[in-house]
Amino acid sequence: MDAVEYFEVECPEAQGGENYKRIMNVVLLDHNLIRVIRKIDVFINPEIPLFVAVGATGKIPSMVRVRDFANVNVQENKVTLAIADETYLAPLLKILWEKYGGDKVEQPDRFTVIIYTQNADMHEIEELPVKDPSESIYKDIIYALRCIAPEGFRVRREVFKDGKFYFAASEDTLPENIGTLIADRFRKIGEAMP
């Protein structure tokens, strides 16, 4: 877990806290979030009942553009893309179909895409955004925290903003002072509440 700067679980029952720390470690590893989450603090008290997790993300991978996985060759009336990594091929095709029309985009094989167009700008095509990894980070973190939270904790409040997140859950209504509790947890990890 050395990729995470701060990783703490607070629970009134010491053994329960250790068990939750192990569960969190496994879930975060399984969801490939260890490299994304920089700090995480969890408070769990089954007697209240309350589960609160706050944290901050590190550097999130930047926007994936055509230039990151394909070579662009502009010729008369057509542009040929030589695909080096198929990972982003499906979203790329969808974007190209919307931008140029399905009848002007051809895929003769899995490593080649041809766009039939006039006056194509190579730089514009190379810079075309294909996937924003940050869009799925929030969903992945919240999904992982739902897996970690105790079974039956269905009343939830979740926020992801400016690289910070919190997740509060309970069987009952959340306490009136939940905002204060969340802010205190953020202060504990040296961050301001988003």
pLDDT values of the chain reduced to their tens digit, one per residue, 194 residues: 445 788 999 999 999 889 999 999 999 998 888 888 999 999 999 889 999 999 999 877 788 999 999 999 999 899 999 999 998 999 999 999 999 999 999 999 999 999 999 888 889 999 999 998 877 888 899 999 999 999 999 999 999 888 899 999 999 899 999 999 999 999 999 999 98
One CATH from 3.30.1360, 3.30.1150, 3.40.50, 1.10.10 for 64-131: 3.30.1360
Helical (H) or strand (E) element with 20: helix 14-30
pLDDT at 76: 86
Strand partners, 193: none
* Sequence ranges of the domains in the chain: 6-60+134-188, 64-131
36 in Cβ contact with 60 (< 8 Å): yes
pLDDT at 138: 86
| Separation CA 133–CA 11 (nearest Å) | 33
| Separation CA 35–CA 2 (nearest Å) | 10
- Rg (Cα) of the chain, in Å, rounded? 23
46 in Cβ contact with 16 (< 8 Å): yes
Q: Quote the pTM value.
A: 0.69
pLDDT at 118: 86
pLDDT at 1: 41
pLDDT at 3: 59
